[in-house]
A and B are shown apart, each in its own frame.
Chain A
Amino acid sequence: DTAVSQTPKYLVTQMGNDKSIKCEQNLGHDTMYWYKQDSKKFLKIMFSYNNKELIINETVPNRFSPKSPDKAHLNLHINSLELGDSAVYFCASRMNLNSNQPQHFGDGTRLSIL
């Protein structure tokens, strides 16, 4: 069973389009994250949710809108895609805010903007 699953794995689209990436975890964790990894491999945190509530929003353009319908899901919608959005987006989860345990990562979504 995949613990943290993201769909789609690959996403190729044109500039200006709107797209969504979905993430689901079956670990029973309360806290979920979105990271962006650019071509230089730097993993930059974008958002974090705890039990459906936004707790971290790291100066991300408002074209990016996360949504957490329940604590097992954290989706990422991106409006008006730009060339600079090309990257690998990773979803991760962690037990809860009181835990010192590490994150579990999904396999990533490789987004390519034409």
Chain B
Amino acid sequence: QKEVEQNSGPLSVPEGAIASLNCTYSDRVSQSFFWYRQYSGKSPELIMSIYSNGDKEDGRFTAQLNKASQYVSLLIRDSQPSDSATYLCAVLGGYQKVTFGTGTKLQVIP
């Protein structure tokens, strides 16, 4: 079992729709969770951090965390073509190791 799992996609959504990105992790001691966006040929950039169960909203982005289910998700409302990128889930676990998922490629269709 991979430490951090994501569907590789591509996930295609029409412009204006909600994009839902999911991530599961295996390390139960994990306490901090991050979503990064990576455009082709660029470095990962942080979108959201979430540390406690529940929802955290920032503009069009909402991160959701359920530690009991070892599940974290990212919702993007009113998706725009500029949101088309690969979204990486990252988990801070034991020994202060940050592990990334394989990423989900999102395509927003105009």
Contact = CB atoms under 8 A, between A and B. Distances in A.
- Chain B interface size range: 20 to 34
Interface stretch (A17-25, A37-45, A78-86): A37-45
A103 B98 contact: yes
Contacts of A31: 96
Nearest to A94: B98
Interface in B2-44: 31-32, 34, 38, 42-44
Interface of B is mostly: strand
A108 B98 contact: no
Contact of A41 (B98, B99, B102): B102
A110 B95 CA distance: 28
A43 B97 contact: no
Interface in B52-76: none
Contacts of B97: 45, 48, 56
14 contacts: A41-B38, A41-B102, A41-B103, A45-B98, A55-B95, A56-B95, A90-B44, A92-B98, A94-B98, A100-B32, A101-B49, A102-B34, A103-B34, A106-B43
B49 A43 contact: no
Interface in B69-95: 86, 88, 90, 92, 95
Given A42-B103, A102-B34, A97 B96 contact: yes
